[in-house]
Structure 1
Amino acid sequence: MDFFSQQWATYRAVVSHDLMEHRAVAHATANALEGWLAQRPVAAPPPAMVDLGCGDLAQLAPVLRRLPLGGYTGLDLTAAVLPLAETALGPMPYPCAWQEGNLLAWSQSEAPPVDILHSAFAIHHLSDAEKTTFLQGHASASPPMGCCSGLMCSASRAKPWRPTSSATARGSDRAGRR
């Protein structure tokens, strides 16, 4: 078994046993996104979504299948998980893209604006200074009425990510540290 497979098996065990409350985060994300979508004007074009640290989409794929998106981009630092995510999601009526990349670099890039920015458990890997840089960079990538969902923990204690958008999914990290 190679290094990725060993690490991925450990990660899958954490998710399968819900040790970091991935199910609750996915449920909160679904509620926030569905609520935000329900408030959008009927004539608004379908929103574009970027999922930073998408992983294999084990928890989020069922949610994504219900959403009337205009497009979805899954970004992950590990290229090996992107085919797993694509398989988990399956064929969709909207375009999907899969990108290997660093979420901090993405936030500083000239990426086109997105309507929905999601990151469940990837941002907590950043230091507090990197989180600040990320949030400053991401602010220019999302329109004022966009939606952010996710979980962010500081190095000292768990904190829900509370962006100034119209909908936020809140979760908790039992460990309370990165």
Structure 2
Amino acid sequence: MRVELHVPSRPELGIRQLWLRDPEMMSYNAGWDVRYAGYDPITGCIDWPESEWSEFEARLRIPASQQGYYFVRDADDDQPVGDAYYEVSGSAASIGITIVPTRRSQGLGALVLGLLIERIWRDTDVLEIVNEFEDDREPAVRVHRRAGFVPDQVTCDDWGRPTRTWRLIRPGERAVSG
């Protein structure tokens, strides 16, 4: 199986809109303390009307040294199978990956995380990559641990339930925080 990162075009943003409306796709996102008018805390879905797409497209034009948003495509059939992003803040890049429900548990998370790590090390000067999620998301824990991420000792409660930050230090650097 081969996957690739692809910056979506405007017509492809309809796929993202469908994903954000899909309760199965967004189930990981349910129950958070999020202050956004279009967020449904029961399903985790997010209303993303086409009127907001131009603002999102402007974000896609921000240099890769500061952020990246990508569709994940199955390179064998050219179909989107999820998305991945990073945002740089200070010396760290925060990341996120979502795989469509029908393609989960097939090893895609590890492949995508590897591609995202390569892209961040290549395109940014950050010293660490971080991701924050709940301890009971066992597939995410396994994938991050295998990629070399190390969990912080303490959890935080910033979003209404406990999450832990996982950190990957740039090769040749020392731990920044945590």
Report if TM-score (shorter chain) is over 0.5.
no
- Structure 1 length normalisation: TM-score? 0.27
Q: Which has the higher strand share?
A: 2
| Richer in helix (by share) | 1
Higher RCO, 1 or 2 (CA under 8 Å, sep at least 6)?
A: 1
